[in-house]
Amino acid sequence: MNRGLEPTYLIYVRSADGSEDLAGSFFTLEEAKLRVRLMAQKSGRSHYIYDSLKHEVIEERTQSDFGVSG
């Protein structure tokens, strides 16, 4: 049975109240890193990349990482 491919790298956004929502899913780490940086620059919330195969957070970004204040 062919299950097909599923994205490995998931981007989640974390709100001030601690809730989290899926913001995107990607097949390559390079694309996920680019997108998480772009999302974090435009938003006042924290975004992170989760590796669904290793079950770990790879990178977390916020506006302050880029010298941007909300």
Alpha-carbon distance of 45 to 66, in angstroms, equals 13
0.85 exceeded by the pTM?
A: no
Separation between Cα atoms, residue 16 and residue 44, nearest integer Å: 9
pLDDT digits (tens, 9 = 90+) for 33-61: 999 999 988 887 899 999 999 999 999 99
Residues 51-64, buried b or exposed e (16+ Cβ, 10 A)? eeeeeeeebebbbe
Q: What is the mean pLDDT of residues 22-36?
A: 95
Residue 45 bridge partners (DSSP):
none
Q: Backbone dihedral region of 25: left (phi > 0), alpha (psi from -120 to 50 degrees) or beta?
A: beta
Q: Is the pLDDT of residue 20 over 80?
A: yes
